[in-house]
Every structure is written in structure tokens, then in C-alpha cells.
Amino acid sequence: MGWNDHIDNDLSESLKELVSKGFVSEGSAAFDVARKIIDSGKTSLTPAEADVFEKQVVPALTALDEANLEDDVEEALGPPPSTPMDKPAS
């Protein structure tokens, strides 16, 4: 196993989650690039695909990380308190 194989594995797992949770749409350039990285690694990207990775996939990965963080916080703290509905005036 090479020194960066764990990085590729971590990226592949994140990309699989990105695809499965719908953060990139099937048929989009970002989806195609994510699938190519999962199948062949990031080094397999052409310069145009690397550009799609940086401009579309990386922001989607960031959104996924933020969503997961919000889920972790909610799981740890419980759901946010609901606001009481205004009572009608008597």
C-alpha cells in the first residue's frame, strides 16, 4: 500500500456518500468525476475533469461535511427546541 492510499480511500468513501446522499446529480459532470475517482483514483483525472473536481465536487464535499456536522451536533444535543406557537388573544 502506498503512502497516499489511505487518502484515496478516504476520498472514495466521501465521494460514495456524496453520490448516495444526492449531493451530486446522476448525469452531471460532478457525478461523472466522482465516479471516475471512486473507480480509478484522483490521478486518473484529465485537466478538465480536475477543474470540475475543484469547482463542483469540492464544494459538494464541503456541503456534505457541513450537513454531517449538523447531524452530529443534533444527535449529541438533541433537536433544537421548538418555538411555542402564539396563543390566540382571549
Give the model confidence (pLDDT) of 12-66 as tens digits.
Answer: 999 999 999 988 999 999 999 999 999 999 999 999 999 999 999 999 999 998 8
Smallest CA-to-CA distance from 64 within 8, 16, 27, 26 is with: 16
Task: Judge whether 81 lies within some domain.
Answer: no
pLDDT of residue 67: 87
Task: Judge whether 25 lies within some domain.
Answer: yes
Domains identified in the chain, total number: 1
Is 0.75 topped by the overall pTM? no
C-alpha cell, 78: 438533541
Structural domain for 53, as ranges: 5-75
Task: Judge whether 18 lies within some domain.
Answer: yes
Task: Judge whether 86 lies within some domain.
Answer: no
